[in-house]
Amino acid sequence: MALERRHLRGDCENCFGLCCVALPFAASADFAIDKNSGQPCRNLQEDFRCGIHNNLRQQGFRGCTVYDCFGAGQKLSQFTFGGRSWRHEPHKAKQIFEVFPAMWHLHELLWYLTGAAEHQAARPIRQELQAQLEETERLTCLDADALLELDVAAHRAKVNALLLQTSELVRAEAPPLKGDSRSRKKKVIGRGADLMGAKLQGADLRGANLRGAFLIAADLRGSDLRYADLIGADMRDTDLSGADLSESLFLTQVQLQAAKGNADTKLPPALNRPEHWNSKKPATS
């Protein structure tokens, strides 16, 4: 069984604004106001649409433009709760909001597993990936009570073991580096690497292990990130102008939305170029 990636992206038309209600946020650079969990955002309209959707960044809600539920919102709204919204059945609202994070985590794992299974290098473990993909999809079909009882962390640990194996297999196929590119790459290899503000313009990072790396405001203009593992990497304000991410591993739309880029940034086919990215060509040096 293989899932189409389009089902693993947020579809607001078929969701009851769950992320706008269930999730809390605090006034910051990403949000203009404070909001508690279970409290509808002041911009949420009666039809579950955002009243300032086209001007979120301008009005201080950049965090909303970065977020994606991996399809969890519509799955809960239309499948788990059968198209019955928290407004029409307020007695179920608390349960709906509490189960949303569990569904989100499962759908995030579906995104990673689907991507892993697509890689030719993952052939040796494709059966195991397929089995976990099917099991994770089965879990998303549980009823709300069962989802609340589910040990998501334990399931995530099983999946992560396979994702780590996939990463090793894919990164092993990265072309060999030449000259000082090899030593430069070694400096950034490692889970959770602190690369905040790092100057890596034009760097050859093919096959680099950037799992959980802090790439906040890093300069990766023109860098080659093919075969690099980017799962969990914090890419807020990372400059990806002209970078090649066409074969990056475990990249998400959330990471792209948080980063900067342009028309020359190369992306995997499953992901979209963010609307806020600059269309100008990257600077050269």
**What are 67-100's pLDDT values in tens digits?**
999 999 999 999 999 999 999 999 999 999 999 9
How far from chain centre, in Å, is Cα 16?
21
| Longest distance between any two alpha carbons in the chain, whole Å | 65
Percent of the chain whose predicted confidence (pLDDT) is above 90: 83
pLDDT band at 2 (very low <50, low <70, confident <90, very high): very low
> What is the three-class DSSP state of 257?
helix
pLDDT at 176: 77
Backbone angles phi, psi at 159, to 5 degrees: -65, -40
Comparing 58-67, 76-85, 136-145, the range with the smallest average pLDDT is 58-67
CA proximity to 21, closest of 59, 73, 65: 73
Which pair of tokens denotes residue 60?
């201080």
Backbone angles phi, psi at 239, to 5 degrees: -90, 110
Asked whether 258 and 236 are in contact (CB, 8 A), the reply is yes
pLDDT at 80: 97
If phi over 0 gives left and psi between -120 and 50 gives alpha, with beta otherwise, what is residue 234? beta
* Residues, the chain: 285
pLDDT at 177: 65
pLDDT at 254: 95
Percent of the chain whose predicted confidence (pLDDT) is above 70: 91
Average pLDDT for the chain: 91
Locus of tokens 């313009």: 201
- Helix (H), strand (E) at residue 110: helix 93-118
Instruction: Report the alpha-carbon distance of residue 253 to residue 68 in Å, rounded.
Output: 7
* Terminal alpha carbon distance of the chain: 47
Question: What is the pLDDT averaged over residues 116-122?
Answer: 94
pLDDT of 115 above 70: yes
Rg (CA), the chain: 20
pLDDT band at 184 (very low <50, low <70, confident <90, very high): very low
> What is the three-class DSSP state of 266?
strand
CA proximity to 99, closest of 46, 24, 150, 40: 150
pLDDT band at 197 (very low <50, low <70, confident <90, very high): very high
- Is the torsion defined by CA of 80, 83, 85, 90 positive or negative? negative
pLDDT of 45 above 60: yes
Comparing 66-75, 177-186, 215-224, 229-238, the range with the smallest average pLDDT is 177-186
pLDDT at 3: 53
Secondary structure (H, E, C), 4-29? CHHHHCCCHHHCCCCHHHHCCECCCC
pLDDT of 61 above 90: yes
pLDDT band at 190 (very low <50, low <70, confident <90, very high): low
Asked whether 103 and 75 are in contact (CB, 8 A), the reply is yes
Instruction: Report the alpha-carbon distance of residue 230 to residue 92 in Å, rounded.
Output: 37
pLDDT of 163 above 80: yes
pLDDT of 284 above 80: no
pLDDT band at 187 (very low <50, low <70, confident <90, very high): very low
Condensed to tens digits (0 to 9), the pLDDT of residues 238-277 reads 999 999 999 999 999 999 999 999 999 999 999 999 988 9
Which pair of tokens denotes residue 64?
């909303």
Is 178-285 a CATH 2.160.20.80 domain?
yes
Residue 27 has a CB neighbour count (10 Å cut-off) of 11
Instruction: Report the alpha-carbon distance of residue 228 to residue 206 in Å, rounded.
Output: 5
- The residue extents of the domains of the chain are 5-171, 178-285
Asked whether 201 and 222 are in contact (CB, 8 A), the reply is yes
